[in-house]
Amino acid sequence: MPAPFSSPLLDALAGRVVVADGAMGTALQAHDLTLDDFGGLEGCNEILNVTRPDVVRGIHRGYLEAGADAVETNTFGANLANLAEYGIADRIAELAEAGARLARETADEFATREHPRFVLGSVGPGTKLPTLGHAPFAALRDAYVEEVRGLLAGGVDAVIVETTQDILQTKASILAAHRAMAAEGRRVPVIASITVETTGTMLLGTEVGAALTALEPLGVDVIGLNCATGPDEMSEHLRTLSRQARIPLSVMPNAGLPELGPDGAVYPLSPDGLAEALSGFVTEFGVGLVGGCCGTTDEHIRRLTAAVRELE
């Protein structure tokens, strides 16, 4: 395992609980965006970094005003699998850098010496699982290199490889992050955040202990869980990580298990419910980076920030 290094984010995690948002996708869905807003590429959230930067900035600003220490870039789908579906795979680096710059500039508006604000460069899994032969490992890895180089150029403080469902895809993302950092001559922490389904394993059957064994030696600086479920379903998986991991832990659950409503998925967990659950994860399992994924609103972040402010 590569030797640990110091960074402002890791230094912060050593001394206090860091609160991050991870709900850009569902936050964008709450806006009444038109096909023109998407530049004709309906549903391509990453194109909004150049067509509607005001909307993306507004979402970042809402979370920062609520007290978030860190915001995630609007780059979850800036990868080969997603952008190739829109015929714009050649714009991976451009859209990643644009998303990083929006988050960086907005975070810097709120940052003070006493309360720095961090930008996490979001690297999502895409829709192609290499273990199932959907796409070549090397092709996915090389496209992730372009994405992370764009994120680094835009000024991120860390790279978060998140919502990973396939260990081979996760490995491609992490290796790409290290290659990109070597190419750019800049090192930032790498956060690996896997997704464990209600079945108790990742989508392709990997349990959390096996995922830790596979990923920790790749040079990740923080490991944790996000998406798919609410906090209740993550408790035992976090217990395993807390006993076995040698690096800091993160957790960003959905605001409860999604329920189907008349307008799509609804996330039922209240702001107080999320704050109470994650406070328990901090005190019981030593989780240092907490936040919310799908369905997390500004109010969820506000209550969470207040709840963990005095916790170590």
**For residue 272, is it within any domain?**
yes
Beta strand 259-261 with 264-266 is: antiparallel
pLDDT tens-place values along the chain, 312 residues long: 455 678 999 999 999 999 999 999 999 998 999 999 999 999 999 999 999 999 999 999 999 999 999 999 999 999 999 999 999 999 999 999 999 999 999 999 999 999 999 999 999 999 999 999 999 999 999 999 999 999 999 999 999 999 999 999 999 999 999 999 999 999 999 999 999 999 999 999 999 999 999 999 999 999 999 999 999 999 999 999 999 999 999 999 999 999 988 877 889 999 999 999 999 999 999 999 999 999 999 999 999 999 999 998
Q: Are 161 and 170 in contact (CB under 8 A)?
A: yes
**For residue 77, is it within any domain?**
yes
**For residue 33, is it within any domain?**
yes
Alpha carbons 38 and 46: distance in angstroms, whole number: 9
**For residue 185, is it within any domain?**
yes
**For residue 278, is it within any domain?**
yes
How many other CB atoms are there within 10 angstroms of residue 226's CB atom? 26
Number of domains within the chain: 1
Domain harbouring 81, CATH code: 3.20.20.330
Say whether 82 sits in a helix, a strand or coil.
helix
**For residue 2, is it within any domain?**
no
Domain that holds residue 86: 8-308
Alpha carbons 188 and 253: distance in angstroms, whole number: 24
Q: Are 254 and 222 in contact (CB under 8 A)?
A: no
Token pair listed for 175: 């290796």
pTM of the model: 0.96
CA dihedral 119, 124, 130, 131 (to 10 degrees): 90
